[in-house]
Amino acid sequence: MKTIIEPFKIKTVEPIRFTSPEERSRILAEAGFNPFLIRAEDVLIDLLTDSGTSAMSAKQWAGMMEGDESYAGARSFFRFERIAKDLTGFDFIIPTHQGRAAEKILFTLLGGAGKYFPNNTHFDTTRANIEFSGAEALDFPTPAARETASPADFKGDMDIPALERCIREKGRESIPLVMVTVTNNAGGGQPVSMKNIRETKELCSRYGIPLFLDACRFAENAFFIKKREKGFGTVPVKSIVQEMFSYADGCTMSAKKDAIVNMGGFLGLNDADLASKARNILIVTEGFPTYGGLAGRDLEAMAQGLEEVLDENYLTYRIRSVEYLGEKLSRAGVPILEPPGGHAIYLDAKRFAPHIAPHHFPGQAIVCELYLAAGIRSVEIGSVMFGRKNPSTGEFVPAPMELVRLAIPRRVYTQSHIDYVVEAVLDVYSRRKQLAGLRIVSEAPLLRHFTARFESL
């Protein structure tokens, strides 16, 4: 059969609330034109993030009843540890309550003034944790990543020549590790090829620098490798995952993505000394090393999710359902970041609303209009999130891309929900010339997009 279907049936449902255009207009103004400040019950289709918003399976819920809530040495930890080790091959698996807690521990230990952390593209929390330590976060996306309309297969790749120039310029001793984010979330959910991971590892090894993966979407990345990279078509996804991790010396993981849970994460390490220091910080900030900020039931759900995510029927449906949204939009002429990513479709706000200058946040204008038109919540990934002021001149430096991310929660929405989203985006696109930019009224010094308030111009 050609039709790709959801490889599950629905046992539990949760109602979603319809609001009137007048209600949404009031709600958006009260939220300072920032979708993070809207109550979830005022949202009809929530595409804010795919993080922690997945529907768990019956086996994951059953696992939660099996959770061993012992403070130390819980059975649930050892099941989770066994499965995570089998996948990643790392010697030490340190559970944390989510991805950024793993980042915080890692960069507290390795960061600090005068240190540099290159990545294909840092996500916002990774960048923030690095900068919070006093170090600098550097992005080296492959040049193809900047061409939003080109459909290259692996636009998440690291720009290896640029990485090598950076290592030579900054010096090996000031780069504690190189990171590769799979898939590249801030760069459009684009995958990284095995060839690129391998070559990045070779370069790092030549300079004696450890390679880490930001592994949140490891399974989606592996599935793209299977589908697009020569030589992997018949290799099981699990083996591809194991090969990806085999090139890394450690990882940070937000289990809220490809472990299909609502909360969880871990730090994977091979270096025994670093692992011992990390556990010391873990005990102070998260909890004892066999629970690390999580309940035993969370560890069970995470262990189960790490196995379920490798099911190739699930990954076929997952990647196809995102591609379906992208296909419908691009066929209707809506500019999206091509090709569709693994977990989200990114509208290209620069081409969608070229009349709005980056410092008036074209992406945020589209985000607001999608909510007003249809109760859909999305998120800007552009100059609200990554724009900054030049510290010496005070001049506004825009983000390299102005995107609106429509992130698809795992196993949550059906095809008719996605058809509704298509209709809403096409409606907003037909009225794009009337969209107005925004101005920031208040903002926090770090990760301002979460709490900033705006006014419409």
Ligand X SMILES: Cc1ncc(COP(=O)(O)O)c(C=O)c1O
- Residues in contact with ligand X by CB under 6 A are 51, 98-100, 123, 125-126, 181, 185, 214, 216, 254, 256, 265
CB of 78 to ligand X, least distance (A): 23
CB of 91 to ligand X, least distance (A): 22
CB of 441 to ligand X, least distance (A): 26
The secondary element (H helix, E strand) that includes residue 45 is strand 45-46
CB 365 within 8 A of CB 356: yes
The residue number with the shortest CB distance to ligand X is: 99
CB 194 within 8 A of CB 135: no
CB of 371 to ligand X, least distance (A): 20
Q: Which residue's CB is nearer to ligand X, number 181 or number 196? A: 181
Classify residue 88 by its DSSP letter: H
CB of 262 to ligand X, least distance (A): 11
CB of 37 to ligand X, least distance (A): 18
In our burial notation (b when 16+ CB lie closer than 10 A, e otherwise), range 407-422 reads bbbbbebeeebbebbb
Q: Which residue's CB is nearer to ligand X, number 185 or number 200? A: 185
Q: Which residue's CB is nearer to ligand X, number 28 or number 260? A: 260
What 3-state class would DSSP assign to 410? coil
Max CA pair span of the chain:
61
CB of 264 to ligand X, least distance (A): 8
CB of 50 to ligand X, least distance (A): 8
CA dist 30 and 23 (Å) reads 11
CA dist 183 and 222 (Å) reads 9
CB of 253 to ligand X, least distance (A): 8
Closest CA to 317 of 409, 227, 411: 411
CA dist 259 and 363 (Å) reads 29
Q: Which residue's CB is nearer to ligand X, number 214 or number 338? A: 214
What 3-state class would DSSP assign to 267? strand
Q: How many helices (H) and strands (E) does the chain have?
A: 16, 16
Q: Which residue's CB is nearer to ligand X, number 119 or number 330? A: 119
Q: Which residue's CB is nearer to ligand X, number 34 or number 98? A: 98
Please state, in angstroms and as integers, the Cα–Cα distance from residue 390 to each residue in 143, 395, 400, following that order: 24, 5, 15
Closest CA to 294 of 315, 333, 264: 264
Q: Which residue's CB is nearer to ligand X, number 262 or number 316? A: 262
Q: Which residue's CB is nearer to ligand X, number 54 or number 185? A: 185
Q: Which residue's CB is nearer to ligand X, number 212 or number 361? A: 212
Q: Is 311 left (phi over 0), alpha (psi -120 to 50) or beta?
A: beta
State the amino acid at position 391 in one-letter form. P
